[in-house]
Amino acid sequence: MEQTQIHATQIGDEGDRIVFLHGLFGQGKNFTRIAKALTPQFSSLLVDLPNHGRSAWTETVDYVDLADRVAQFLRDGFAADGPVHIVGHSMGGKVAMVLALRHPDIVDRLVVADISPRHSESAGQFEHLLDSLKSLDLSTIHRRGDAEEQLRPLVPNDAVRGFLLQNLRSTPEGFRWQANLDLLRDSLIPIAGFPDIDATFDHPVLWLAGERSDYITDADRPEMERLFPRMTYVVIKGAGHWLHSDQPEAFTSALRVFLSTDRWR
């Protein structure tokens, strides 16, 4: 496996180390508020996953490959001195799960946010969002407001639209997408899936779910408990799928308690 350039930003320089892995369309900076709130008790590494943010693009999207690339990146730097905590949301949660299953020596405690290790039946929402972004005529966009106007009829939710437009960057040649939209659109089936891995992760795991989200179902629980037998399941009230954005204080509190309390040793 060739080394892939992965961009990450560190917040804090003391305390236990946490690595944050974002979801589809996201970037490491989405966890900036959470990471700052956790200082000085924790130092955090906010990772841009491949094909997102300022990290390099790859030719395929595969969770095993992504997890191995992140593991190599961590071994060479943030986790060089020993295991770290991993927090992953949505697609990043699947990367985090695979990372823990395949590289348990570099993972102390794992937090999975609002996703399960199952194959989703439909990626219709993401098809619509990706197609909406790809439909924008970047040659006609001269300021960010132009993109906002073009996207509003397709994505009327202000919060979702603003989140998506974080991927738009101004360059000397005009506006460009940072995320690898073509590859992500062509890879929705593997993104919605989860690999078969003959392993379990026998370290403490916190599973956070949004009260208003349907990304985790009762039918998912047996597989979650099989792969991660030491899991604790917590529902964050008033939160949807983007629970760290909907309820940042509750999300931060849950992380702080789980990652610092001896009962989960």
Q: What is the mean pLDDT of the chain?
A: 93
Q: Name the catalytic one among 90, 116, 187, 213.
A: 90
Q: Name the catalytic one among 76, 158, 182, 202.
A: 182
Q: Is 245 tagged catalytic?
A: no
CA distance 68 to 74: 10
pLDDT at residue 19, as a whole number: 98
In sequence order, the β-bridge partners of residue 145 are none
CA distance 92 to 135: 26
pLDDT at residue 3, as a whole number: 56
| Residue 28 scores a pLDDT above 60 | yes
How distant, in Å, are the alpha carbons of 22, 45, 117, 164, 265 from that of 226?
24, 29, 10, 34, 19
| Residue 124 scores a pLDDT above 70 | no
Q: What are the tens digits of pLDDT across the range 204-234?
A: 999 999 999 999 999 999 999 999 999 999 9
In sequence order, the β-bridge partners of residue 44 are 11, 18
Please state the rounded mean pLDDT for residues 117-132: 79
pLDDT at residue 1, as a whole number: 44
| Residue 72 scores a pLDDT above 80 | yes
pLDDT at residue 159, as a whole number: 86
Q: Is 182 tagged catalytic?
A: yes
- Options 3.40.50.2300, 3.40.50.720, 3.40.50.150, 3.40.50.1820; which CATH number does 8-119+193-264 get? 3.40.50.1820
CA distance 197 to 64: 9
Q: CATH 3.40.50.1820 residue ranges in the chain?
A: 8-119+193-264
Q: List Cβ neighbours of 87 (8 Å cut-off, separation of 6 or more).
A: 18, 19, 20, 21, 31, 96, 110, 111, 113, 255
Sheet with 205-210: strands ordered across: 8-11, 42-47, 16-21, 84-89, 107-113, 205-210, 231-236
Q: Is 241 tagged catalytic?
A: yes
pTM greater than 0.85 (yes/no): yes
